[in-house]
């Protein structure tokens, strides 16, 4: 039996087991099983990975930076982002990758925008900031903004409200609560002049409801989840897949 999992806190909402197990079944990988692992202490992520004899894992909030720091080896864009969302056992080494950025860009490829505002300063924000030209970063507090020195960045207290075509929420606000990722008055002014809004959370949140009220073209995290998942699945099985076919299967699983 080959075991795969998703590490996160919280993790009960995750649809990843549906996605991956559906694809394992499609490819006849009957000895592959994907589950969920609630991990409260990110510092233990590699220890738990090895103890449970896991072959591959997805990593979600708030453990992507821990996965980057503690993986035996990190490859690709994850080294620039300093965040890992995919762990794979390769030759007895736990190797870290990041598929968030490529998955996200695939999900918005038909959007026509120039200016971008990213709300949040965690692992997902780091990944996405590398994919845009001169994005603006907005975060509640200044501490994490030290990782975004190459971009214009603001806290809620010193934010200059301007026109942004695309507004992206990368925070966990609304995941298990009714919170907004920024003060309501700030979002109202932003939404009045924006064209698009994207929330990496894939169920309806207060942020998404507001975006709809202002008539923005909205995407939740479903497409990003699917496209980054296709890339992870390819690494988990280590053989050539039909990406369109896997994306279709994963979309069906998410929509169940």
- Mean pLDDT (whole number) for 94-107: 93
Residues 6 or more apart whose Cβ sits within 8 Å of residue 22:
249, 250, 252, 253
| 108 and 195 in a common domain | yes
Q: What percent of the chain has pLDDT over 70?
A: 100
Q: Residue 64 catalytic?
A: yes
The size of the chain, in residues, is 256
| 182 and 79 in a common domain | no
Q: What is the mean pLDDT of the chain?
A: 95
| 84 and 17 in a common domain | yes
pLDDT, one tens digit per residue, over 16-66 is: 999 999 999 999 999 999 999 999 999 999 999 999 999 999 999 899 999
Question: Any idea which residue has 């992870």 for tokens?
Answer: 232
Closest-CA residue to 169 (of 132, 219, 215, 100):
219
Which residues span the domain enclosing 52?
A: 2-98+222-255
| 125 and 73 in a common domain | no
Cα 121 from Cα 140, distance rounded (Å):
9
* pLDDT of 127: 86
Band (238; pLDDT cuts 50, 70, 90): confident
| 108 and 40 in a common domain | no
Q: How many domains is the chain built from?
A: 2
Answer positive or negative: Cα dihedral of 180, 181, 183, 187.
negative
| 67 and 168 in a common domain | no
- Among residues 15, 64, 126, 219, the one annotated as catalytic is 64
Cα-trace Rg, the chain: 18
* pLDDT of 124: 86
HEC readout, 92-130:
CEEEEECCHHHHHHHHCCCCCCCCEEEECCCHHHHHHHC
Q: What is the pTM of this model?
A: 0.79
């Amino acid at each position: 039996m080959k075991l795969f999992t998703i590490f996160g806190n919280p993790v009960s909402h995750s649809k990843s087991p549906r996605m991956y197990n559906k694809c394992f079944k499609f490819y006849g990988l009957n000895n592959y099983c994907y589950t969920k692992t609630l991990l409260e202490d990110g510092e233990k992520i590699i220890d738990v990975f090895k103890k449970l004899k896991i072959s591959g894992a997805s990593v979600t909030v708030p453990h992507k930076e821990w996965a980057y720091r503690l993986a035996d080896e990190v490859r690709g864009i994850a080294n620039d982002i300093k965040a890992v969302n995919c762990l794979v056992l390769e030759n007895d080494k736990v190797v870290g990758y990041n598929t968030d950025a490529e998955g996200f860009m695939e999900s918005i490829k038909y959007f026509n925008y120039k200016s971008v505002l990213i709300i949040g300063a965690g692992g997902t924000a780091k990944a996405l900031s590398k994919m845009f030209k001169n994005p603006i970063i907005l975060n509640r507090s200044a501490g994490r903004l030290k990782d975004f020195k190459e971009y214009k960045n603001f806290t809620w207290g010193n934010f200059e409200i301007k026109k942004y075509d695309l507004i992206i929420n990368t925070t966990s606000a609304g995941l298990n609560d009714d919170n907004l990722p920024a003060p309501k008055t700030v979002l109202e002014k932003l939404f009045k002049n924006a064209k698009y809004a994207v929330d990496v959370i894939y169920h309806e949140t207060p942020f998404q409801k507001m975006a709809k009220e202002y008539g923005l073209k909205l995407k939740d995290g479903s497409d990003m989840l699917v496209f980054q998942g296709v890339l992870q699945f390819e690494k988990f099985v280590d053989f050539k897949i039909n990406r369109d076919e896997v994306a279709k299967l994963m979309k069906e699983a998410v929509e169940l």
